[in-house]
Structure 1
C-alpha cells in the first residue's frame, strides 16, 4: 500500500513545539483532517484503493516519511518558509495552495496522485 502524508505542522525546538496553522476553531475539525477525508472519499470514488492517507504530527521530516513507505508528502502552504531546504520541484513533494489545504478544491491533488 502506498502512503500519502499530509504535513500540516512542523515540530521545532527542544520540546517539539508544533508550528503551522491547522486548527480553525474549538468546535471545528482540523484543516488536515478535513483534507484527509476529502482525499479519501475522492480516492474511493476513482477506485484508487492502493493509496493510504495519513496526517503527520511534524516530528518526522518529510524526507523520513518518504524513506518509510511514503510516495507523496502534501505540505501545508504555511510551512514553505520553514522547509526551505526541500526541493519542491521533486515529484515526492506537493506544496498545497491555501484553497487546496482548506479542502475547497482538491482536483489538482487528485490529478497529481493519478500520475503516481
Structure 2
C-alpha cells in the first residue's frame, strides 16, 4: 500500500502562487496611481535690490542659476518691465543674467517681482513686498 499525499501540497502551492500574483498586480497598480511625476524645474537664485539715487532700481544676481530673458519676467509696480532692464556692464538688451551681474531700470517703484515662466506653472523667484 502506498499512500500518495501530494494532493494537498499542490493546492497550497497553487494558493500561494495566486496570492503572490494578486499582491504583485495590486502593487504595480498602486505604484502607477500613487507615483508623482518629476517636479517642474524652477531656478534657485538669490537677488538683492538696491535703489541708486531717486530713479535707478538695481537688481543684483548674488548666486544661483543663470536666468534667461525668455523665461524670466520682471514686474515693476505690477507691469512687465523685463525688456526695459539693461545690464550695467552692457547697456544693450540682456539675454542671460548670471551671478554677479546687475540689471538696471530707470524709474521709480513700489513693488518688484521676478517670476520664472519656463515651467508648467509660473514660479515667484523674488519679491520686495
Structure with more strand by fraction: 2
Query: Greater helix share, 1 or 2?
Result: 1
Specify which structure has the bigger relative contact order, considering alpha-carbon pairs within 8 angstroms and separated by 6 or more residues: 1
| TM-score band w.r.t. shorter chain | under 0.3
TM-score normalised by length of structure 1: 0.25
Larger radius of gyration: 2
Give the TM-score of the pair, scaled to structure 2: 0.23
